[in-house]
Structure 1
Amino acid sequence: MPARIYRQLHEAIIEGRLGPGERLPPTRELAASLAVSRNTVAVAYERLTAEGFLVGKVGAGTFVCANPPADPARPDRPGGEIPVRPLWRLLTDEPSPPPPARYDFQLGVPDAHRFPMAAWRRLIARELRDVGVRASSYVDPAGHAGLRAAIARHIWLSRSVRADTADVVVTQGAQQALDLVGRVLVEPGACVAVEEPGYPPVRALFTSLGATVTGVPVDGEGLVVSAIPRAASLVYVTPSHQFPLGTAMSLDRRTALLAWAHEHGAVLVEDDYDSEFRFSDRPLEPLHSLDRGRRVIYVGSFAKTMLPMLRLGFLVVPPSLRTAVRTAKRLTDRQGDVITQGAMAAFLTEGLFARHLRRSTREYAARHERITAVLCRDFADRLAVVPSSAGLHLAAHLREPVDVDALVRRAAEAGVVVEDLAAYHGDGPGEPGLALGFGAIELDRIEPGLRRLAACWP
């Protein structure tokens, strides 16, 4: 037994789990916790002290030495590397989110202060009380049945998307939804078309699955259908509010894209990521609503309307893909968080989501109006704002050449977070500009923040 205690303490010191100067428990206390004699622990302590790993201080206790000797059996050099597929050396992890800033114009962030936390806490508590026997068993990998039904009703009323409960698969955000689509449909070497500029994680995801990803340019009417490679078997689009430019795909372009998909036997993945926030005209019908050949997979998310941390998204899949997508969901994570899903079902069915959405839309509309007005007034000679009437961000192209990377750095140093539009181009630099979100910044901070940004201009 002394030898076993010695080895465990020795390894803890060598591996750094017991750091230099850390106090060890008294021999009597450790002996009691291990159900051994005090003398057994004392023998292990004495051996480690003799070898220079521990030091005893009269009246204070036993401590790890400030500079314990190295273990000759563990040379101070890295071990052998485990090789990964070469692809994963190219796909770097995204940088950590920027620290909180006084004037935060980062993209994709809703206002957490507007989230109805009291109502949500009540619904979560109710789900926990009612979980009962469900807690000891797995549930449908497609998600909470009540939430799937509520989503089907919600997207029918708000977006004219026809879907049965069986068509809906609840996911851990839109990114998992897209991963499931890729797992089911994308063969290694297949051609996948994405928007250029577009959402970088989508490009990286399909690349990681072995696809050849090709960027397709976007103009004032949306994705340029004539530029889609003939070999593309899957096309990813954000037609309601193109990311990051913010334009809406015209009806003519939507019709042309659907015709192209039917002609080439391709699948369209429609990401309707923040369509709920519209500030002027009624949105055009989604591709899914216009599709008569069941070539469209509809992807939605509650990350912008609720909170990203809830990890709630969904897929609407045609009947031909139900079994495959449900199987892929079961194999990847078996099921989602049923407590959160149950609370979200109640949030939708009790009308709380609609109320929250109305209030949030009014606030975001005011921010959208303010940021657009200030940019058009004070930056007219520097930036051309891309027209947008939805979402939580807008884009602006540079009128004159500027080192955008340096500008973004100077702004960050001044407490203003903005984003370089070039970061969303995958096949080249594209047209330079800035992307500015208004979900995370209060209305009264927008104008002071933009004044500070103007002061950073070269």
Structure 2
Amino acid sequence: MDLHLDLDPRLPLANQLYRQLREAVLSGRLAGGDRLPPTRFLAQRLQVSRKTVSEAYEQLCAEGFFHGRAGSGTFVSQGIQRTAARAPMQSASALQPTRLRQALTDAHTPLRQRASRYNFHGGTTDKQLFPFPEWRGCLQQALRELGRTPGFYDEDAGHPPLRQAIARYLAISRAVSCAWEDLLITQGAQQGLDLLARVMLEPGMCVAMEEPGYPPARQIFLAAGARVVGVPVDEEGLLVEQLPDDARIVYVTPSHQFPLGMPMSLGRRLALLEWAGSRSALIIEDDYDGEYRFEGRPLESLQNLDRHGLVAYLGTFSKTLFPELRLGYLLMPPGLQPALIHAKHLSDRHSCSLQQRALTHFLVSGGFARHTRRMQRVYGWRRERLLQRLHSDLSPWLEPIVPLAGIHLAARLRLAIDEDALAHELRQGGVGLLDLRPFYSQPQPRGGLLFGFGCIDDKLLEEGLDQVRTSLSRLAAI
């Protein structure tokens, strides 16, 4: 048999030979009943040791791809390639998602943008300013800890010292009063939403959320089979009087509404709590980047005003430190704690133990507080400069909605401009900037843009805004 095999001497030879012979069987190049070359002959031809070939043959015999006949040699087993050689596309086409899942896929508008020269991406931090040497030290300390622990799974609810550190942080920085045992560590706020939907919703139930609102939250509720109703917002936040009576969950971003940025007034917060209390509805309070506040005094959280255990409070470190750090937390209402912990166990058992321990050291050592204080100054300057430009040379086309907190702001279009053409112009100019349309479930007569100022440095901020002005002036003149 003249079988072509090509081995790379820089890589383990026995493993390469095993994989190539196995692939030859699966692809049909070696048919059932074919006799393999003797180990001595193949070793000479490939210029490897006979032991290397013998190891590959033995492994394939153990897995059933080959079999040996005493005095006759080694042969390919019958029937394998007929099963494995089916066309991949034919196999894949037999599996289709449910109609609900397909509808979600078709309707999904991704918020993630391609990397651009001028990145005005909302909810993204400046990784160039993150103290990675200090974080590396926290990771090394966490590794040493893990090396001294027995080989068991971590707690489903999360590493207890991390939950204790977060409870202290919430009490000091957010005026959120909680026992650390009530906290559940999640893979970002996104998993917290998914877990709440799993334990609270059945197909056909109603979920109310702000309009405009956070599209991934809407997708999670739709994926659970819920009927999602958008409720308008004004300068005081959610219009509580327009909530549907049968809503099982109300999802809100009261610290600064996403994406428009205004905080929910105290009167609206109290009205929402009273509405939920009269219906035993769950309120999900998403405080997604409340660390960065630039004006005014923060209002008391819904969770701290709650007297009936109806508020689930969500937070994340992905929008404070860096997006790849998929760690968040969920302050669980008392009645949902056992179900949520069990749902977390079924989902992924527990979040990454190494990252949890590293984040614990970062919080306890003061690294997190130092970093957020530094970034408060950086983001504050960028926010101020962006508002200056929006109130001056960009004002003929854009009307900013001034937020009190967060690392993005929205601006309404003053003129009727083709938003698809504007998006194309901006992409051509190297500007990564979302318009407001994906945040609405229904078409809106007046468009706008969402400016993130977390991940764009000071010089590129100015150049990017110049490019936005050029695009707007060109389209407005058409």
Alignment TM class, shorter chain as reference: 0.7 to 0.9
- AA aligned opposite 1:164: A
Aligned counterpart in structure 2 of residue 104 of structure 1, from 83, 104, 119:
119
Return closer, same or farther for 1:29/1:184 CA change in 2, 3 Å cut-off. same
What pairs up with 1:190-205 in 2 under 5 angstroms? 190-205=205-220
Task: Give how far 1:33 is off.
Answer: 2.5
User: CA offsets, 1:369-395, max 9 Å, x none?
Assistant: 000110110121211111212111100
How much does 1:444 deviate?
2.2
The match for 2:433 among 409, 418, 432 is 418
Instruction: Give 3-state SS (helix, strand or coil) of 2:318's partner.
Output: coil
Which residue number in structure 1 is paired with residue 48 of structure 2?
29
Number of aligned positions between the proteins:
419
* Residue in structure 1 matching 2:312, options 277, 297, 311: 297
Shift of 1:100: 2.4
Contact between 1:422 and 1:431, CA under 8 Å: does it hold in 2?
no
Aligned match of 2:64: none
Q: For 2:349, which of 326, 334, 342 is the aligned residue? A: 334
Write the distance in 2 (CA, Å) between the matches of 1:6 and 1:240.
61
User: Which residue of the partner structure matches residue 302 of structure 2?
Assistant: 287
Q: Distance in 1 between matches of 2:204 and 2:438?
A: 25
**1:180-329 correspondence runs (5 A):** 180-329=195-344
**1:78: Cα distance to partner?**
2.9
The two structures have a TM-score, normalised by structure 1, of: 0.86
**Shift, 1:427, TM fit:** 2.7
Determine if the alignment matches structure 1 residue 87 to structure 2 residue 100.
yes
Question: What CA deviation, in whole Å up to 9, does each residue of 1:138-169 have, x standing for no partner?
Answer: 11100000000001110010111111011000
Q: Is the 8 A contact 1:31 1:37 kept in 2?
A: no
- Which residue pairs with 2:417 in the alignment? 402
Q: Which letter maps to 1:82? A: L
Number of the residue aligned with 2:373 = 358
Secondary structure at 1:129 match in 2: helix
Judge which range, 421-430 or 6-15, deviates more. Answer: 6-15
Structure 1 counterpart of 2:331, one-letter code: V
Residues 189, 30 of structure 1: CA spacing in aligned structure 2 closer, same or farther, 3 A cutoff? farther
Unmatched tracts of structure 2, length 5 or more = 4-17, 31-41, 61-82
Q: Distance in 1 between matches of 2:376 and 2:177?
A: 24
- Contact 1:239-1:272 at 8 Å conserved across structures: yes
For 2:90, the equivalent position in structure 1 comes to: 78
Counterpart CA distance in 2 for 1:303 and 1:444 is 25
Provide Cα deviations, 1:258-279, integer angstroms capped at 9, x if missing partner. Answer: 1111112111000000111011
Does the residue aligned with 1:308 lie in a helix, a strand or coil? Answer: coil
Which consecutive residues of structure 1, in runs of 5 or more, have no partner in the other structure? 16-23, 42-70
SS at match of 1:35: helix
Q: Deviations over 1:41-60 (max 9, x none)?
A: 9xxxxxxxxxxxxxxxxxxx
Question: What's the % identity of the aligned pairs?
Answer: 43
Aligned equivalents of 1:378 and 1:123: distance in 2? 45
My pick for the range that moved more, 74-83 or 134-143, is 74-83
Q: Residue 157 of structure 2 aligns with which residue?
A: 142
Paired residue type of 2:98: R
Offset of residue 108 of structure 1: 1.4
Greater alpha carbon shift after TM alignment, 403-412 vs 355-364 = 403-412
State the AA in 2 paired with 1:320. G
Normalised by the length of structure 2, the TM-score is 0.82
| Residue equivalent to 1:68 | none
Change (3 A) 1:75 1:102: closer
How far does residue 192 in structure 1 lie from its aligned partner after superposition? 0.4
Cα distance in 2 for partners of 1:352, 1:306 equals 11
How far apart, in 2, do the equivalents of 1:173 and 1:345 lie? 16
1:312 to 1:135, Cα distance in 2 relative to 1, 3 A: farther
Q: CA RMSD in A?
A: 2.7
Shift of 1:8: 3.8
Deviations 1:260-305 (A, max 9, x none): 1111211100000011101111211111111111111100001111
CA distance in 1: counterparts of 2:173 and 2:202, whole angstroms: 34
User: Equivalent residues in 2 for 1:413-452 (5 A)?
Assistant: 413-429=428-444, 431-452=446-467
Q: For residue 12 of structure 1, report the CA deviation from its aligned partner.
A: 4.7
Partners in 2 of 1:313 and 1:103 — Cα distance?
Answer: 28
1:39-188 alignment runs, 5 A limit: 74=86, 78-79=90-91, 80-92=93-105, 95=110, 97-134=112-149, 136-188=151-203
Residues 135 and 118 of structure 1: CA distance in aligned 2, closer, same or farther (over 3 Å): farther
User: CA offset at residue 83 of structure 1?
Assistant: 2.8
> Who is 1:18 aligned against?
none
Please give the per-residue CA displacement for 1:212-244, whole angstroms capped at 9, x wherever unaligned: 111111111101101110010110000001110
**1:372 has 2:391 as partner:** no
